[in-house]
Structure 1
Amino acid sequence: MGVRITPPTERTCERCGRSERWDDAVEGWRIDEDAGQIYCLHEWDINGTFVPITERP
């Protein structure tokens, strides 16, 4: 039995509205249209339920 992790392909900052998409060609995030606030500490619309590490008993 295997595990598959599916990362997000797009994200939007909840503070300034900046939107980005994942670009496989450069293996990184690219800004869509609006760059948002240049000094914003971006808070991406990720709910925080993803847990990549589990503890062993």
Structure 2
Amino acid sequence: MSESEPLSPPQERECVLCGRQDVWSDEDTNWRIAHEGEAHCIHEWDINGTYNPF
């Protein structure tokens, strides 16, 4: 059996509605705001199905 490829999670994301940009913090193991967007936006992240984590 061969070894599997390591998981490569996304490091950034952007809301398609308000433009808020987040980056992943390995230190905090959580998303951190890189660029503010609309404070009351229900964020819709730019996940389109083309991202391949492996």
| TM-score interval (norm. to shorter) | 0.7 to 0.9
Over the matched positions of the two proteins, sequence identity in percent amounts to 47
Q: Higher relative contact order at CA 8 Å, sep ≥6: structure 1 or structure 2?
A: 2
Structure 1: runs of 5 or more not aligned:
51-57
TM-score by length of 2: 0.75
Q: Aligned-pair distance for 1:49?
A: 5.7
- Aligned residue pair count: 49
Runs (4+) of structure 1 moved beyond 6 Å?
Answer: none
Query: For residues 29 and 21 of structure 2, what CA distance do their matches in structure 1 show?
Result: 17
Q: Aligned-pair distance for 1:23?
A: 0.4
Query: For residues 24 and 3 of structure 1, what CA distance do their matches in structure 2 show?
Result: 20
Which moved further from structure 2: 22-31 or 1-10?
1-10
Query: For residues 23 and 48 of structure 1, what CA distance do their matches in structure 2 show?
Result: 23
TM-score by length of 1: 0.72
Write 1 or 2 for the structure with the bigger share of strand.
2
The structure number with the bigger radius of gyration is 1
